[in-house]
Amino acid sequence: MANSFVTVGDRFPQFEKKAVVSIEKGKEFKTVSNKDIEGRWAVMFWWPKDFTFVCPTEIAEFNKNYTNFKDRETVLLGASTDNEYVHHAWRVHHKDLTDLKYPMIADTSRSLAEELGILSAEEKVAYRATYIIDTEGIVRWLSINDLSVGRNVAEVLRVLDALQTDELCPCNWNKGQETIDAPVG
């Protein structure tokens, strides 16, 4: 039986999950859902496990680029199948994660990762998946890496820029470059 998964052109699934949004006492947790991205561009990226080696490099790099996403009026969300308490402990104890500006979503039931089709067969943890979701809630781009290979945040931003032009963008296109003017008819 073939695995089903959410792909380009599909509506991003409904979700409501606990997330770590702060390390400040009393303000650590919040529920995050589709309502938080409704009518806005969004990037949701997944990592396999907290307290690992490649994951914090990606999480920190997305954080370094938080302003770049905000400047593009794009909500940034991170997620894994670890629970919110593990996320919180990791943020508190990892110097590169203490000042995250976006939520760390806890998909402990694995329901969203399963619906997206991004759970690894052996460990049942999420692959390194990244989704760009448009203002209508439609997946416009996705990338999935194996567990051992980190992603390129600059590429996520480049693709987001291209999608937001709503024009034809050639190979290796970057913001500010000419788009393609295709004849109509």
Active site residues: 55
Nearest residue to 34 (alpha-carbon basis) of 158, 140, 139: 139
> For residue 175, what are the contacts with CB-CB under 8 A and spacing of at least 6?
158, 161
Residue 107, burial from CB neighbour count under 10 angstroms (0-12, 13-18, 19+): buried
CA-to-CA distance for 43 and 158, rounded, in angstroms? 12
For residues 27 and 175, give the distance between their C-alpha atoms in angstroms, rounded to a whole number: 37
Based on the number of CB atoms within 10 Å of its own CB, is 150 exposed (0-12), middle (13-18) or buried (19 or more)? middle
**46 and 129 in contact (C-beta within 8 Å)?**
yes
Identify the three-state secondary structure at position 39.
coil
| Tokens of residue 133, six digits | 């979701």
